[in-house]
Amino acid sequence: MGMIAAIVQARTGSVRFPNKIFQDLSGRPLIWHVFNRLKPSKFIINRVLATTTNPNDDVLAKWAQENEIPCCRGSEADVLGRFYQSATTFAVDIIVRITADDPFKDAAIIDEVIALFLSKKLDFAYNNNPPTFPEGLDVEVFSRRALKEANEKSIDPFEREHVTQFLYRHPEAYKQDCLVYRDNLSHLRLTVDTPKDLEMARIIYNKLFQSSEFFAMKDILELIAREPEIAAINSAIERSAMYSKKSEAYAKIH
């Protein structure tokens, strides 16, 4: 099976919300929660930070060192290359791609995608094409072989920035499948890309984190059902353009 590791891509620079990964969330920086929420996974052996060589990210590399998290630094724009560099540096065979602005990742959902990848002997597994989970609970799992080929063959700047787009666009070459949730919850926004998102995240954490460090998606859904105004805080923010690109890929597969 080989070593399964989560590679978390993070940088302090963000056009919409600079330094968001160090914003306080229940007494800890947001990035801490992203890594912490991976701990209950039954499959993930290691958690790696993939950041940039930009001097602005020295603080992030220092944070990783202080928290005993393996860190690899690479190109800021070429995130695909940075992922491949991280996977080879730490001998990762199966990569779980995690983005650092998602403090609601659910280890049980991550494990379901990993199980799908393993049981069907896939090259690439995900839960967002088509999207049925809330934005921010996305997970992608792929082999180092697929990552290596994407890194070698992709020349499209969009593909290199977004890591997995080459794989989505070549379903004929990479065996792939999607974990689909029973209800379509893709309208829910559980990610932090703007100050409004952070406001929503802080309310959820204030209500759930103290009683359960690893609160799950079902806990969030139950809270939102009781207090729908929480989901309304950031509901007007546009969904990432990534999803329209993935829809194009989905149409190609089907």
Least confident among 31-40, 195-204, 219-228, 233-242: 233-242
Can you name the residues that pair with 141 across neighbouring β-strands? 96, 125
Please give the mean pLDDT across all residues of the chain: 92
pLDDT in tens, 214-223: 999 999 999 9
pLDDT at 21 (0 to 100): 93
**Distance between alpha carbon 172 and the CA centroid of its chain, in Å?**
24
Give the pLDDT confidence of 144-197 residue by residue, as tens digits: 999 999 999 999 999 999 999 999 999 999 999 999 999 999 999 999 999 999
Q: Are 245 and 238 in contact (CB under 8 A)?
A: no
Which residues, other chains included, contact 51 with Cβ-Cβ below 8 Å and sequence gap of 6+?
A: 9, 10, 11, 57, 60, 61, 64, 71, 72, 73
Domains of the chain: 4-253 (3.90.550.10)
Contacts by residues 64-71 (CB-CB < 8 Å, ≥ 24 positions apart): 67/32, 67/35, 69/35, 70/46
The DSSP code for 21 is G
Beta bridge mates, 135: 189
Q: Are strands 140-143 and 28-29 parallel, antiparallel or unpaired?
A: unpaired
Q: Which residues are CB-contacts of 244 (< 8 A; sequence separation ≥ 6)?
A: none
> pTM for this structure?
0.92
Q: In what side-by-side order are the strands of the sheet with 140-143?
A: 71-74, 46-52, 4-9, 94-99, 140-143, 124-126, 176-178
**How confident is the model over 221-232, as a mean pLDDT?**
96
Residue 158's closest CA among 239, 47, 249? 249
- Position 159 scores a pLDDT of 92
pLDDT number for residue 242: 52
* pLDDT of amino acid 243: 45
Average pLDDT over residues 218-243: 85
The predicted structure's pLDDT at residue 251 = 47
